[in-house]
Every structure is written in C-alpha cells, then in structure tokens.
Structure 1
Amino acid sequence: MTTALVVIDCQMEFARRTAAGQPRSNPLAETAIAETLAQFRAAGLPVVHIHHDDPRPTSRFRIGTPGGVVMPCAAPLPPEAVFIKTGSSAFIGTELAAHLQASGITHLVVIGAAVNYCVSSSVRMAANLGFAVTVVQDAVFGFGITGPDGVAHDPATVLSVTLGTLADFAAIVSSSDVMERL
C-alpha cells in the first residue's frame, strides 16, 4: 500500500477567525499539521495539498485574497502537488483521484480544516472511491455550529461527532501514532 498525505484547506481565513477569538477545536492543530507534514517529507512519502478557491465574490476563501493564502504550517514545497477546488470535496472538479491513481497511491492520511466540512466531504469521497483513509485527529480542526433547531454546538462537540462519524470511513489516529500505522 502506497500512502500519501493530503493537506486540506490550511488557509489563512481559518487563522483569522481564530485570531479574532472564534472558538475552535484543537487549538494546537497547526503544530500537529506541521509535525505530520515534516514526518512525511522526512520519510520521502508523497504530499498533496488541497486549497479552496470559493467562487463567490465575497468569500474570504478566494485564492489571491488574504484569507486564501496558505497557512505557514502547511506551505507546499516542490514537487508536492497542489489542487485547487471550488466545492467541499477535494475530489469534485479536480484531477486529484486521477493523480493519486496514476501515482499508485492507495492510502490517504488526511489533515487540515474544517473537519466538519471539507475534511469530512473529502474523507467520505476518498473511501467511496476505494482509498484506504486515515484521519489524524489532532491535525484537523473546526469551529462550532448552530443546528437548524437553533441549538449551538461547541467546537469540541463538532470535532468529536465528526470524527465519530468518519470512523465508519477511516481510521482515526493521533499525530504521534500516524507513522507507526503506515
């Protein structure tokens, strides 16, 4: 099984929200993201980056805007592949699946944000496409949400429920264990 690290949407809009005081899960996620990325690079394993470019003109997740800039903890290095998506899943509207298949990749280790949006969509799609998937639980993060019933759900609850649901599609591991499990 050939493994690649997939780094999803580590963009400065998330850092801006955090700096503005918006509560989020995994406040040390950037450290775990950087460490996981460093481990993959040191092992010579492939790394693929996914960046979000929201087509809505007012979105803060547009390439070329401050929010669309990649967070320093996840900056791509040559020859790492970068795919730009405009929707939630990294596989829709990109050549990601074809790239992974052409590279002989069968196992994806996923890190990034937001766990309950693009990470979740991408993990589910990867599993549906036949990839084995692992999510690094301390190298993903998200924010709280309010349900349609008006009930607010804090970031830790959102993370826990999302990872619990994703456990049907992926192995859930910590950054300290990820390399041992490859």
Structure 2
Amino acid sequence: MAKTALIIIDMQMDMQQRIEAGRDHVNGDAPEKITALATAFRAKGHPVLHIRHAENNPASSFHPDAPGYQPMPCAEEAGAEPIFVKNTSSGFASTDLAEYLRSNGIEDLVVTGAVAGFCVNSTVRAGADIGFRMTVVRDAVLGFDLPSANLSAQTIFDVTMAHLEADFARVVDTKTLLAG
C-alpha cells in the first residue's frame, strides 16, 4: 500500500529573516500551517521529510555555518526524520530523495515550504515528472517578490500555483487537507 509523506522544503531561518526585513511575501503564517500539518502527519504515523538548501560559499546565508541555514521551528525534525540537503532548486536533482521514497513505498507527496516560484515549483514539477503524486498545500507555501523583475510576491505566487495545478499537482489548503 502506498504511503503519503509530508515534505517541508527550505523552511530555514533565511526565510524568517526575509519576512522580518519586510520583504514582500505571501503566506506569512505558513510556519503555523506547516506546524499543524507536521503534527497531524506525525500523529497518524505518516512520514515527515525535510529538505534544506545548502551553499558552499561561506558568505551565503545558506552556508551550513550561517544562521540563515538553520531550520525554522516549524521545520525542525522530530526524532530520526530524514533530512535531504540539496544544492539545486529541485529537492530531487541533488539528493537521493526519489530513491528514499521508492524504497519506503511512498508515492504520494504533500508539499509545503519555500519558495513558491523557485524550490517548491521545481521540486513539485520534478516529482510529478518521475511519477509521484503531488499535492501542494497552497497556504503552507511561502512566496516572495522578485524586485529585479518588478513582480510582486502575490503575482509570482498566483502564477506558480496556477501552473502547478494545471499540470503537476493537486493544490489544496491546510484546512481541506486536514479535514480529509
């Protein structure tokens, strides 16, 4: 029987620092939603998996020694929950995530985390492309603006969710997922 896992992507302190700095974003309450989802998954015995982004550059906020690399409280692993450390946008491209999922009979993935237009987007698309059933929890995903392109966080988020829902994933909110 196929199992369902919750995946928490890149909910690291760099994201909290962006929010606190006043960066244009959507779903500032995503950490609370992720906490609720992780609690529910753990209570039902479903796996909770963590993906973290790491950079080799010591000046990067995602360098393993930098404060920005550390997980936000909502993304701290409980017990021996797996942590996959990536250095690419997709959680599949530079990790053994797919092998782990297949060897543990996990076919359905519920995706949360950061950032909507980048790592969440590429991870969901990659997962769908290699045969996993993907669900994105819309209100448990952080999105940020793209000032260099003059695009608001809401615009990027809405377009990203529309693309994912059109061809790669089921998109739901936390309340609906927890009720089901």
TM-score greater than 0.5 by the shorter chain: yes
1:158-177 matches, cutoff 5 A: 158-167=156-165, 168-177=167-176
Tell me if structure 1 keeps the 8 A contact 2:143–2:157.
yes
Residue aligning to 2:78: 77
SS in structure 1 at match of 2:58: coil
The offset of 1:160, in angstroms, is: 0.7
Q: How much is the aligned-residue C-alpha RMSD, in angstroms?
A: 1.2
Alpha-carbon distance between aligned partners in 2 of 1:38 and 1:74, rounded to the nearest angstrom: 11
Unaligned 5+ runs, structure 1: none
Please identify which structure carries the higher helix content. 2
CA contact (8 A) 2:11 2:113 kept: yes
Unpaired runs of 5+ residues, structure 2, are: none
TM-score between both structures, scaled by the size of structure 1:
0.94
Report how many residues are paired. Answer: 178
Q: What SS does structure 2 have at the residue aligned with 1:177?
A: helix
SS of the counterpart of 2:176? coil
Q: Between the two proteins, what is the percent identity of the paired residues?
A: 40
SS at 2:25 equivalent:
coil
Helix, strand or coil at the partner of 1:78: coil
Q: Given the alignment of the two structures, is residue 179 of structure 1 paired with residue 178 of structure 2, yes or no?
A: yes
Question: Which residue in the other structure is 2:139 paired with?
Answer: 138
Q: Distance in 2 between matches of 1:22 and 1:180?
A: 32
State TM-score, norm by structure 2: 0.95
Give the aligned partner of residue 26 of structure 2.
Answer: 25
Paired residue type of 2:76: A
| Counterparts of residues 91-170 of structure 1 (less than 5 Å) | 91-146=92-147, 150=149, 152-167=150-165, 168-170=167-169
Deviation digits for residues 26-81 of structure 1, max 9, x if unmatched? 12111111111111111110111001002233211121210000001111111211
Amino acid at match of 1:126: G
Secondary structure of 2:139's aligned partner:
strand
**Distance across 1 between alignment mates of 2:45 and 2:178:** 12
Which 4+ residue blocks in structure 1 deviate beyond 4 angstroms?
A: none
